[in-house]
Amino acid sequence: MKGINIGLVGAGNIGQRHIMAIDQVEETRLMAIADPSNGAHQQASARDIPCYKSAQQMLEREALDAVIIATPTARHYDDVSLCISAGCKYILVEKPIAASDLEATNITRQAEQAGCTVLVAHQRRYYPCAAKAKELIETGAIGTLIGVTGQWNCRKDEPYYAPEWRRKTEAGPILTNLIHEIDLLRFICGEIKLVSAHLNRVDQGFEKEDAVAVTMQFENQAVGTFLLSDRTPSPWSWEFALGENLALPKTGQNAVRFLGSKGALEFPNLVLWQHSEPSGHWQNELLPQPIETEFIDAYIAQITHLVEVVQGKAAPLITAHDASLSLKATIAVARAAEAGHQIKL
């Protein structure tokens, strides 16, 4: 089978996860890196592959089947546009797809016009627990979806904020972390139609926010709340619940609850709560039913999916347009908080 030759633009924190995944997927080969940092050059020379100072140089000299873009968010638009103009046919860009609605719309349009497939790295969608939660809710396991409540709270370490770009709004927890939650909520519950929010900058005093509280309404009328902060130590976040991030401890504590007319579902370690009697009287005992799903490496699943898309065996799970809707809802949260009123999507 022909291998898929991949170029990586941006070999920082998340770029390393992509490299690990590429190394483990038999059909893929990392052919080159584009990153001006010393670390990237050292890594490339240790692997005996070229490291270019810019994506432009890499695209001029390498024949690539796909490019992965893992540069800081503010660069995504320029990097994706450059790859599309250079004739790339398959691009996997880190989330958020871009730093603004307009950039995301332009990427979607440029990709369509050029016949380029842009996938966006909302890797949580690859976890079987996400697909199972979607299936349970869509098939009525908890009845009519009434609401959802969740949180993502942790305290990132101080060196994390050393790069100036991580102190800016476009790298704050709304755009960096809430977008994962919004993307999964859209995936599992359906489209969001209204958001309102409050935020604070009570701890660090950077341009980026320290915490945000969100309320939302979905098109199916379900309502939702979400509390998110990168400044408070807590066991309640997706990463801690599942043990997704190899560098963070696993707590196993669920962070999201879906509430329906006939039951409730804890997430991401799925537990279905229902009354012991079909009548569902509130005096009946409520019984928890754990639902096991396989724990996978979503980055490997993502690269495997990229291979299938390049080989024409699968349609993209997360397209540029789809990811643009997650970005739009996420940016609306920030706008609603700053404006002090709800925003209709």
Ligand X SMILES: NC(=O)c1ccc[n+]([C@@H]2O[C@H](COP(=O)([O-])OP(=O)(O)OC[C@H]3O[C@@H](n4cnc5c(N)ncnc54)[C@H](O)[C@@H]3O)[C@@H](O)[C@H]2O)c1
Question: Tell me, what amino acid is at 27?
Answer: E
Q: Which residues pair with 216 in a beta bridge?
A: 195, 224
Cis peptide preceding 249, ω within 30 of 0: no
Among the listed ranges 65-73, 107-115, 142-150, 286-294, the one in contact with ligand X (CB under 6 A) is 65-73
- State the Cα–Cα distance between residues 67 and 322, nearest whole angstrom: 19
- Shortest Cβ distance from residue 317 to ligand X (Å)? 14
59 is a site residue for ligand X (CB under 6 A): no
**Interatomic CA distance for residues 154 and 235, integer angstroms:** 7
State the binding string over 244-273 for ligand X (x if CB under 6 A, else -): ------------------------------
Using Cβ positions, the residue closest to ligand X within the complex turns out to be 12
Query: Is residue 95 part of the contact set for ligand X (CB under 6 A)?
Result: yes
- Find the part of the chain contacting ligand X (CB under 6 A) among 3-11, 84-92, 195-203, 331-339: 3-11
Binding mask 143-182 for ligand X (x = CB under 6 A): --------------------x------------x------
Which member of 121, 129, 307, 318 binds ligand X (CB under 6 A)?
Answer: 121
- Comparison of 12 and 235: residue with beta carbon closer to ligand X: 12
Q: How far apart are CA 150 and CA 163, in angstroms?
A: 29
Query: Do residues 164 and 103 lie in contact, with contact meaning Cβ atoms separated by under 8 Å?
Result: no
Considering the complex, what minimum distance in angstroms separates the CB of residue 269 from ligand X? Answer: 19
Residue 6 interacting with ligand X (CB under 6 A): no
Task: State in angstroms the smallest separation of the CB of 232 from ligand X.
Answer: 19
Smallest distance, Å, CB 194 to ligand X?
26
Residue 312 Ramachandran class (φ > 0 left, ψ -120 to 50 alpha, else beta): left
Residues 203-242 contacting ligand X, CB under 6 A = none
- 325-344 positions binding ligand X, by CB under 6 A: none
Q: What is the DSSP letter of 81?
A: H
Q: List, in order, residues 6 or more apart from 63 with CB less than 8 Å away.
A: 5
- Does position 28 bind ligand X by CB under 6 A? no
My answer on whether omega of the bond before 163 falls inside 30° of 0, hence cis, is no
Q: Does 319 bind ligand X (CB under 6 A)?
A: no
Provide, rounded to whole angstroms, the least separation between the CB of residue 234 and ligand X.
Answer: 18
Q: Which is nearer to ligand X, 13 or 284 (CB)?
A: 13
Beta bridge partners of 93: 69, 120
Q: Is 4 in the site for ligand X (CB under 6 A)?
A: no
274 binds ligand X (CB under 6 A): no
Task: Yes or no: say if 288 and 271 are a contact pair by the CB < 8 Å rule.
Answer: yes
The interface region with ligand X, picked from 4-12, 20-28, 108-116, 216-224 by CB under 6 A, is 4-12
CA quadruple 135, 139, 142, 143: dihedral sign: positive
Give the distance, in angstroms, between the CA of residue 245 and the centroid of all CA atoms in the same chain: 13
Q: For ligand X, which is the closer residue by CB, 72 or 243?
A: 72
**DSSP symbol at 3:** P
Q: Tell me the β-bridge partners of 229.
A: 153, 211
To the nearest whole angstrom, how small is the minimum distance from the Cβ of residue 236 to ligand X? 17
| Integer Cα distance of 269 and 253 in angstroms | 8
CB atoms within 10 A of CB 207: 13
E strand residue ranges, 141-236:
145-153, 192-200, 211-218, 223-229
Q: Are strands 256-260 and 264-267 parallel, antiparallel or unpaired?
A: antiparallel
**Segment interacting with ligand X (CB under 6 A) among 5-13, 262-270, 274-282, 304-312:** 5-13
Q: Could you say which of 20, 27, 29, 54 contacts ligand X (CB under 6 A)?
A: 54
Residues lying near ligand X in the complex (CB under 6 A): 9-15, 34-37, 40, 54-55, 70-73, 75, 94-95, 121, 123, 163, 176
